Structure 1
Amino acid sequence: MIFIFAWLLSSCVPTKKYEELDKRYRSADRKVTQLQKSNEYNEKVIADLEQKAALLENLREELNETKQKLASLEGSHQQLQKSYDNALVEKDKLITTYSEDMAAFSRELATKEKDLNDQKVSLDSLMRDIEMRERKLTQLRDESNQQKEQMDMLKSTITEALNSFSKTDLSIREKDGKIYVSLSQELLFAKGSNVIDNQGRKALIQLASVLRDNREININVEGHTDSDGTPFRNWQLSVERATAVVQILTANGLNPERIIASGRAFYSPVAPNDTEENKNLNRRTEIILEPNLEILYKLFENEGS
């Protein structure tokens, strides 16, 4: 530019043209400067746009990745939603089942509570019954002990009262809670007779005096024979002899309601009827004394009621 300007000056260009050229030059120079500035600005703008374009591309790539992730998440979400819905359905089923089970359990529990209450009532009743039975058993035991003591004392009293008679004619034993006073035929009767002689009468009167003080004793008089003779005659003789003994006992103060007369003939021997000695043992009259069990029966009846 300087060379052109100098050339123009040296070429003797007229002043007016020079000024016009100078003016153009200056105008062009300003435009060049503006263009340079505009170019620099444009370059900056382009660089900035390129940077933004690169950033935009990165954002686009990130957006694509985000879309892919979103699509994947949406798939997972759908799967999770499906699982959640299935879980809700299962939960509703479980709640329904649980409710039904709880209702059944409540019914069963109510039934068991009722059964338990019924069992408790039964148990209470059973305990009361056991306590009552224990009281009855204690009463029975006490009564039995009292009767045993009474029978022991009675045996001792009878033994003492009849100790003047020989053991072959009169014996006393205790068996199964009963006292057996056995009197031989020789003490009471002649052979084949039902009439009591004086010695036998004396023994029976002494026995009656002891038994009068024991009003709770029942008496069974049994007549026994050997096997000689006919069965009918032996039945008859054993009953007659038992009845004769009862007549003396009742005549000496014993209550007839407490006495039983019975004949056993030869059907309840104490020895085989094979020798005269054994037959002599079988020819006997037994006075069997037993405690009055009416009190015990009443206890049993009360327990049953």
Structure 2
Amino acid sequence: MLRTFFVVLVLGGVMFSCVSSSKYEELDKRYRSTDRRLTQLQKTNEYNEQVIADLRQKADLLETLREELGSTKQKLAALEGSHQQLQKSYDNALEEKDKLITTYSEDMAAFSRELAEKEQNLNIQRRTLDSLMRDIELRERKLAQLREESSAQQAQMANLRQTITEALRSFSEADLTVREEEGKIYVTLSQQLLFAKGSNVIDNQGRKALIQLAGALRDQRDININVEGHTDSDGTPFRNWQLSVERATAVVQILTANGLNPERITASGRAFYAPVAPNDTEENKMLNRRTEIILEPNLEILYELFEGKGS
């Protein structure tokens, strides 16, 4: 449009004024120059419009980015807050972990000490148990030996009772009895068989019985013999003590004189303190006036086995 205006203006000038051809040419050059400039300006204007449009687009994009940046900053602030909270929680957890590690280490050390102590005690108990087991085995062997020896002694005592009974068969039960009680053999001789009343001298019939008894016991080397004298309650206690001891001693003298080992014989007086019947009638008093020869196995063998002195 601007260009058309210039064309009309030039034509008008030509028609209504007298100009020279040189001026026309000059004007034509100007026109062309101006036209070129206009074309260039138009292109520049179009370029500028395009640049402006691009700038506006970029401005819109920049605004959008600015808004996104603000939102991102808010999110970043929130994340920083969360991070600080997490960091605080982490630090607390780390501190708690350190405490737990310390406590765990202390507990493990205490547990290790306790375990070592228990292992030591266990080793001691094991050694003690081993020792006890060895003792039990030894005691079981000893017990078996004791049972064997006891059985042998029981058999020996049974045989001995039978031997004594056979040896003294000629004497009446009123004068002489043989019984077995609690592993011992009791040979009870009445006063009528051995002594006159109040005497400590053994008569012939009693001496015969003791000699026969000594013959039955002569080969019994593992038998201990205890001779007990007993009286009734008549008379003084002192006299009864004395008489019971004298009678027991008189019996021992005959037994040892007929081959029995004195080391295995004991004489003792019991006076009237071990009656077999009340001292209220003459019949009962006769029962109490007696001499008892108590035969028992030599328990030293059993003691030696029990104490470990035997095999």
CA distance in 2, matches of 1:251, 1:207: 12
The partner residue of 2:69 within 57, 60, 63 is 63
The partner residue of 1:113 within 108, 115, 119 is 119
Contact kept, 8 Å, 1:173 with 1:181, in 2: the verdict is: yes
Deviations for 1:248-296, whole angstroms, at most 9, x for unmatched residues?
2122111122212222222211111112221221121111111112222
CA distance in 1, matches of 2:90, 2:262: 103
The partner residue of 2:291 within 264, 285, 301 is 285
SS in 2 for 1:296: helix
User: Which residue type is aligned with residue 61 of structure 1?
Assistant: E
Residue in 2 aligned with 1:189? 195
Residue in 2 aligned with 1:179? 185
User: Which residue type is aligned with residue 287 of structure 1?
Assistant: I
CA distance in 2, matches of 1:49, 1:235: 151
Equivalent residues in 2 for 1:82-97, closer than 5 Å: 82-97=88-103
> Residues 24 and 286 from structure 1, CA distance in 2 versus in 1: closer, same or farther, beyond 3 angstroms?
same
SS in 2 for 1:77: helix
SS in 1 for 2:178: strand
Higher alpha-carbon deviation: 70-79 or 237-246 = 70-79
The partner residue of 1:213 within 215, 219, 229 is 219
> Residues 238 and 86 from structure 1, CA distance in 2 versus in 1: closer, same or farther, beyond 3 angstroms?
closer
> Residues 235 and 90 from structure 1, CA distance in 2 versus in 1: closer, same or farther, beyond 3 angstroms?
closer
Higher alpha-carbon deviation: 220-229 or 64-73 = 64-73
Q: CA deviation at 1:179?
A: 0.5
Corresponding position: 1:150 with 2:156: yes
Corresponding position: 1:31 with 2:37: yes
Identity %: 79
Deviations for 1:53-102, whole angstroms, at most 9, x for unmatched residues?
11122222222222333333333333333333333333333333333332
CA distance in 2, matches of 1:237, 1:36: 174
User: Which residue type is aligned with residue 146 of structure 2?
Assistant: L
CA distance in 2, matches of 1:28, 1:97: 96
Residue in 2 aligned with 1:135? 141
Corresponding position: 1:296 with 2:297: no
CA distance in 2, matches of 1:82, 1:239: 106
SS in 1 for 2:308: helix
SS in 1 for 2:273: coil
Deviations for 1:229-251, whole angstroms, at most 9, x for unmatched residues?
33333223222222222222122
Q: CA deviation at 1:13?
A: 4.6
CA distance in 1, matches of 2:290, 2:301: 32
Q: CA deviation at 1:216?
A: 0.9
Corresponding position: 1:200 with 2:209: no
Return the TM-score normalized by structure 1.
0.89
Corresponding position: 1:229 with 2:226: no
CA distance in 2, matches of 1:282, 1:106: 77
CA distance in 2, matches of 1:283, 1:92: 97
The partner residue of 1:44 within 43, 50, 55 is 50
Q: CA deviation at 1:5?
A: 5.6
Deviations for 1:167-221, whole angstroms, at most 9, x for unmatched residues?
1111111112110011112222233332322222221111111000111111111
Residue in 1 aligned with 2:273? 267
Contact kept, 8 Å, 1:8 with 1:18, in 2: the verdict is: no
CA distance in 2, matches of 1:251, 1:151: 23
Return the TM-score normalized by structure 2.
0.87
Higher alpha-carbon deviation: 294-303 or 223-232 = 294-303
CA distance in 1, matches of 2:18, 2:48: 39
Structure 2 residues without counterparts, runs of 5 or longer: none
The partner residue of 2:165 within 159, 170, 176 is 159
User: Which residue type is aligned with residue 248 of structure 1?
Assistant: I
**Aligned residue pair count:** 303
